[in-house]
Structure 1
Amino acid sequence: MAIRNPRLPLLPGYGSNTLIGKKSFGVRPIFTSVDKVNMLVDKAADTNRVPSFYARKQAPELPTWIMYDKHILRFQGYYQQSLHEMRSAARVLHKLDIFFFLEDGTIKVIEPRTDNSGFSQGTLIRRQRIRLPHSYDLYYDVLDLNNGREVTFYGKIIKIINCDHFTRNFLNRLGINVPDPIPWPDSLDRTPSSGKPPKHRPFRQFLDHDREVLRFYGYWDDRDTQFGTVHHLEIHYFLADDTMEIKEKLPPNSGVEAAPMFLKRMRLPRKIPPHVEMTGGPKHPSYSPADLSVGAVLNVFGRKVVLTDCDPFTKEYYRVTYGFDNFNPLPTPEDHGVCLSSNMAERKLPPWNGYGSYEDSAENCRTVEPKAPHRDFIKFLHKDRVGFDSHILRFAARLINDNSVDGRRYFIVLYYLCDDTISVYELGERNSGFMGGKFFRRNKMYLPDVDFFVSKEPPAYTDKDMWIGNELVINKHRFRLIAADEYALRYMELHANEYPMANIALIMDKIRRALVSEENGYKNFVAKYMEAVVPHKKELMSVKCFKQALKEIMCEKMTEHEFITIIRHFRGDPGKEESRRREMIRSLVFTELTRGLWDDRDRLREGLLHADELGLGTLSLSRMRQLLLAHRLPINTDLMECMLEMLSKDENCNIFYEDLMKFLDFQTRPVVNLSDAEFAKEVRHAPPLKDVECKFWAEQEMIIKEGYVNWNAFLCQLNLEHVVKS
């Protein structure tokens, strides 16, 4: 507080502050306990304002504002309001929702809103404590509210008739009996009828049927007149005031200017009234819901409109009101008139001149302003790369011609499912005279012996032509597909309904028909190759013998891709498949590690040993994933999950981290062809293989020369035992 001398100017420095240097201001905080909770308050006050409905020494230890937070009792009730200005009804019923908040004993009353009620509805009494009538210190409590009781809130006598499930259980736990719900009384106490027919009250009809519209579909046949046609109409009947409106639905490019309405909303008379009577006189009868039905004909001022169908709401209305059950739609007559959209001649484009692609040339011919060609965007969204799901089918191929040198060249054919394009790469070998790399750039490859300089685009290769054993002629070079990578084989097997060569059901059916067509064909087939199984495992047969058996019965009816599909389905030695997959994933991991310049195996081993506190030699999957992320291995999450899946595990699914170190051993790097020892020795310390070279094409070719097939499973799926018994 500053003291100022009135003789001195009111400027800084001319006054003094008596509070400078003072440490004690004489204000002490007051702490008090509210329901056993310590609080800081300005002054001691009576905090127990809400009377408790529990007996003494039986109340809960927690305060009520914590114990009953968001606990609300809900009751339903009503009060009646007198209507002196209406003769037809003496009172009107107001339905209410009463909310009692247990945390502080407040009450809130709401009247639910009703459309077209004519009253101001919503919150009737805001949340507050309500005094008992003729009392100044007593308030309504939970004991005063129950079914069947009447309460007085600010002069309104409210009858409580029902409560929700939570309220009933809460009152029962307090020992209070809750009576059964009481039905709602009639909304209006009407005066006794005088025996006269009920008077038509438009306002009552409006309240009962507002926003209820009957919708019919129909047509008006105007083909008898010049330039007439069939007009498709939509008829709306408003139950609130018995009016109708009609809209016309015009097809696109019909050449007719769309009018706002065929018939504006009005009462549609059954007969056209005379012009003189339109100015006054009695009202003419108009159409009612009883006159409308499927098949009825309406006279719309001289135009015959036929009703052919209606919507579900209209069907339900007539089913409930009139008991109709037959709503079979009627056919609409066909209009054979001139329509620009249907009879427009097909636009022919000039032949392709050889510049650019077919799509690019077609877009330049359709528009004056050159635009980029439109691609199938929906197909691109479904077939674009998603993680490791590349939607690219990779096949190994050989070049077929008279030159023996070209026969040893190795090619990779990639088919892109997103836009049906093909690219060809060559895998170069040392001292072969060919560098390798891109052989044909990515483009759409067309079938051979077709005319290119035409207006329509010639047929091109599709994904149905990509199967092992097929021959493709790409830019006058003939390629034979000899193998496929694991992704291509697996993708075609998962979508077997699109690729018959990978559909095991169709292949087995083809073999089954070939065996049944010959007399004793199945018996001779089983008897001849029964002794060709492996001696120590009677259910297995070598792949070479199995292929020979199928060739004898199928001759040239089975392709190489179908044979590989059968081997993959009835594989008898899955261990080699796991080893092949493990080496493939190792190659991808080494590619990413070398690209990220990571070579910190010693530090990783130190971290694994430190994490293994008990010296068990295993770590959990989550802990192993955490350590790999901590040592910053430059591989993405999907590839890391594939790597962890291939590692050895114990019975508790814990990973042996020594197997991880062997997996990441740069001294045993995977190579393309392990049979070539010199080549493997030279590339062992070389950079990782390219992405297209990581598919182990050599092993895919060896799949038809080694391994075993489950012979018993093959015979079981043939299901021809009845032929042997007969």
Structure 2
Amino acid sequence: MAGLPKLPGYNFSDPTITRYHLPHAFDFCNGYKIPKHPGPGIGGQPLDIDSVGYIDKLDPVRFDPSLTYGRTRSVALPQFLPHFALYDQKCLTFRAFFKQSVSESPMEHYRVRQVNIIYFLEDDTITVMEPTVENSGLVQGRLIRRHKIPKTELGDFWHWKDLDIGKDICFYGVVFHTVDCDTYTREYMASQGLIMGDTEQIPPDPYTQKRIFEQRSHISKTPSADDKLRRFLEYDGKILKFKALWDDRDSEYGEIRPYEVLYFLADDTVSVKEVHDRNDGRDPFPQLLRKTKLPKVWTDRPATFASIYLERSDAEVTEYYQPKDFLVGDTVFVLGRRMFLYDCDDFTRNYFRKVLCIEQKPSISIEKKKKPSPQRPMPPHDGLGSLEDSLQNTITFMPKPPRKDVLRQVLNTNKYLRYEMKLDVVHPEDSIRRFLLNYSLGDGTCNIYEPPIRNSGIIGGKYLRSSYLKKPGCDPLDPDYYTPADLYIGAIITVFQQRFIITGADLYVYRYMQTNPEKFPCQIIENIRNYMFNQGLLNEDIDDRVEEDMEREKKERRDAIGKEIKEEPTDMEKCMAEVNIGADYIDPEYEKRTKQRILAEYEASIQNRQAVPSHGIQPVEKTCRYPIHIGDVKSTECSALEGNYELAPKHIDTPAEIREKYYADVLRRHEEICTEGKPIECSDAPKIGEEPSICDEKPVQPKPIMVHPLQLPEDACKVKTVKFAEGPDRCVRDRYDLCDLNTEKTQCDCTDYKKC
């Protein structure tokens, strides 16, 4: 049927096709959109481009360029997101207004109506919403439904590039003037290169202003009378609550009792409520004083007042308590009882702050200070069980197992740091024995295993079960256990009075130190790193670092292409230069700054990329069998460039590089003497430009290593300004040697360096 002509009446439909829907672009997995690879066409039918007829001769399936050019590192392709998924629920919002004319009304001629123009980036549709204004009398809400609004009669639609602040926009004959936009709109427009204008003010609506003015004219302030009904309606249920204490210790069997003083704002009455504690032994009376007006001086009454048959009225009371008289920290008298106010609730504090402009004092603590309990002495450990288990039995009557750090065990399950050790040799036959120390990161225990050695007469196997290793000399009741920070190459640890020397470690130890550098001193990390480097276990790291440096240098060279290309002046520029036109506009300061910047960039480009440490040997405290005579190491400082040298040649070494090469060779020879114990005969310090002498490998009489001040060439200052001075950082550079690691060297009486 595919070959039939496309004529009316000759079109046939495939009866096998029953599904005509398009395949979806992505799937949802755990709430995330996962792009789907291009699949079949309509109804699941294969596409023409998937046919073998479209396979090119140089098809990548048949031709493998890796066989000719080698494997290349593939670059991860960016994840494709369709336009509607990238800009889903993202819209631009503009504030605008338009004027609506009003006819046949003497009150107003036009209205100013505020709207929000919302542009949806998902499908470039626009809607216009009018916020609801109370008592406006207008039908507000959505003025224009969401759709693409035509801009011209040619079929163009409004786009976000056409929107701006302070611009008139015409939608279906209505002109909207934009005045402001939200923060997201400004940031999005700025990211696309469009800077929005300043915010404008919306002109006021004349009719709305008139109504506001008329409403204000009828407002009047008149003093309100003390109306009981008004006070009841306004303050009913509003009570000022204070916490008080009645100190009755002056009387027999008196004590301090807590109360609550309630002041009712509706009628200015006061009541005192008792506060009962559980099992306090008192009758459950709810109140000490019922709701009544409380006089300040309850004994103040006329001498002629007949108190036998008359009750006290307002005429006999001079003054009642008011809210301003109840302050935290003061004492009020409730019919002769002294009530100390020590706290109030939040409503009372807000009322005093807002209505009376009085700030209540903070709460006063009335709790008695408990006497500190005497510290119980800790009994000594009897040697049965672990220290933590025995200590737990002394804390509680019913023994409980000591608590464990569950989170540490879960995160570090089956994680061990392995070290290789040897015995601190006392007997010669133990020199061949080696041990493996496994430090558990889950609970901090250590176990030691001795690999068996055939025909040695020593039975290997488990040397120590998993247990905590105490440091020698620590408090037996508060022991200090060994941690990974105490384990490094050359460290001596004591395991139940037996000394071991750590001679090796696993690569996982160094990886763990890299992951957790805050748990280890920098000297320990450098010690393990030097050991791994000497064992050749960091070759992959070095290769990766070298590859990164090469890629960075290639990128720098690519970026530098074209910078040194000089543009030839045009004929017009040459003509202007001959007649000296435009010479007055040359800025000599700008040329000077540019010249200095180029000189600084060139000096930075020829600078040694590697970190050049300060070199020198610290004074020794004692002399070993191979003495070292140290000369004066003077500082060389070139204050300025000599002569007219703006650029330095690359083939001349800087003074710092010369010192690095010289003292590195001295330290290497000194390390060979200390570690191998073979004296070598070396010549004096070489001069600049001469090759160093080769040491004789034959055993000769030990001679001292001479370290003289380094002689710099005469043109050293012509390279660039440098400064070299000795400093106390030799231990930072050579941590793997003998510096500040508590390493005991008993094989040879080598020099002990001065600690930094």
TM-score, structure 1 length as denominator?
Answer: 0.37
TM-score, structure 2 length as denominator?
Answer: 0.36
Rg larger in 1 or in 2? 2
Bigger RCO of structures 1 and 2 (CA < 8 A, at least 6 apart): 1
**More helix, by proportion:** 1
